[in-house]
């Protein structure tokens, strides 16, 4: 992807709430939402001690790699991936064209429950993301037009 995802505070809160609802309803350990570039957009749940930056980067790389495998097999993409471990499991799903939803779960939940609750959450997250990505370009430009060179110099302590 060539564009960085920019979130306004209200959009960030909506995404976080959707992730929190899914995390609680599915009894998941944690839920992460990122873009295909690996930028973490929202996360909820038990994340203490977890390197979320690495998780986001590795997941985005995993999606890109399996996308290559899908094309070799004549598929557009593999929209869902599941990795099951002895104690921890991970469910990865694509939401629309730009987002990746990562659900970490353990014995408190099950793959069936994750899939069931994801059906409900998928549409909510997709609608929120469409609101975000469909914002007029003028509105997005205004966010950065307010920042001046003096603001940048002040931030970095440059004179």
Q: Does residue 1 sit within a domain?
A: no
Distances (CA, A) of 127 to 13, 96, 107, 134, 150: 14, 10, 31, 10, 38
pLDDT tens sequence across 29-86: 999 999 999 999 999 999 888 999 999 999 999 999 999 999 999 999 999 999 999 9
- CATH number, domain with residue 87: 3.30.450.30
* Cα distance between residue 20 and residue 9, in whole Å: 16
Q: Quick check: 29 and 88 in contact, CB under 8 A?
A: yes
Q: What is the mean pLDDT of residues 13-21?
A: 94
Distances (CA, A) of 74 to 54, 67, 70: 30, 10, 6
Q: Does residue 77 sit within a domain?
A: yes
What is the span of the domain harbouring residue 114?
A: 9-156
pTM of the model: 0.80
Average pLDDT of the chain to the nearest whole number? 87
Q: Does residue 145 sit within a domain?
A: yes
* Cα distance between residue 11 and residue 28, in whole Å: 23
Number of separate domains in the chain: 1
Q: Does residue 140 sit within a domain?
A: yes
Q: Does residue 2 sit within a domain?
A: no
Residue 1's pLDDT band (cuts 50, 70, 90)? very low
Q: Does residue 52 sit within a domain?
A: yes
Q: At 121, which helix (H) or strand (E)?
A: helix 111-133
Q: Does residue 104 sit within a domain?
A: yes
Q: Quick check: 150 and 123 in contact, CB under 8 A?
A: no
Helix (H, G, I), strand (E, B) or coil at 104: strand
Token representation of residue 27: 């009894």
* Cα distance between residue 98 and residue 96, in whole Å: 6
Q: Does residue 3 sit within a domain?
A: no
């Amino acid at each position: 992807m060539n564009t960085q995802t920019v979130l306004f505070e209200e959009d960030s809160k909506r995404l976080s709430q959707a992730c929190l609802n899914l995390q609680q309803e599915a009894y998941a350990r944690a839920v992460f939402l990122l873009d295909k570039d690996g930028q973490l957009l929202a996360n909820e749940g038990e994340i203490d001690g977890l390197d979320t930056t690495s998780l986001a980067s590795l997941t985005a790389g995993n999606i890109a790699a399996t996308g290559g495998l899908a094309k070799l097999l004549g598929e557009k993409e593999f929209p869902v991936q599941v990795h099951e471990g002895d104690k921890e499991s991970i469910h990865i799903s694509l939401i629309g064209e730009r987002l990746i939803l990562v659900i970490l779960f353990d014995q408190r939940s099950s793959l069936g429950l994750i899939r069931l609750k994801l059906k409900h959450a998928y549409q909510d997250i997709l609608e929120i993301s469409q609101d975000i990505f469909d914002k007029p370009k003028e509105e997005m430009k205004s966010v950065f037009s307010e920042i001046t060179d003096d603001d940048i110099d002040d931030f970095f302590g440059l004179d």
